[in-house]
Amino acid sequence: MQKIAGLAQEMMRDFEAAVAVTRGWEGEGDSFARENKPRVAAENKAASETVRAVAEAISSAADATAGNVKSIQSHQGGVVDAVREEARKSEGLGRR
């Protein structure tokens, strides 16, 4: 589960690095740049926020799943111990 969470965080870093490489492609100071720069910035921001939200959701799900597994294992261990204890207590009962 931790590996999945790590991969999600890596995905986010990779995406942001890829976006950083393309910064400024629309140019500077001309009509094309003035027209496209705000749109590109808004799209990059929205995409980054989406990727970040997805990565955080994956990390949260992985953390929650790991927590549930630990809880189940703990309860299972307690039940198994209780069954063994009762079996030990009842050894010999009913045998005459």
pLDDT (tens, 9 = 90+) of the chain, 96 residues, equals 678 778 878 888 898 899 899 888 899 999 999 999 999 999 999 998 998 898 888 888 888 988 899 999 988 888 888 899 888 888 866 555
| pLDDT score for 16 | 87
Whether the Cβ atoms of residue 51 and residue 15 lie closer than 8 Å to each other = yes
pTM: 0.64
| pLDDT score for 62 | 85
Q: How many CA atoms lie within 13 A of 62 on its CB side?
A: 15
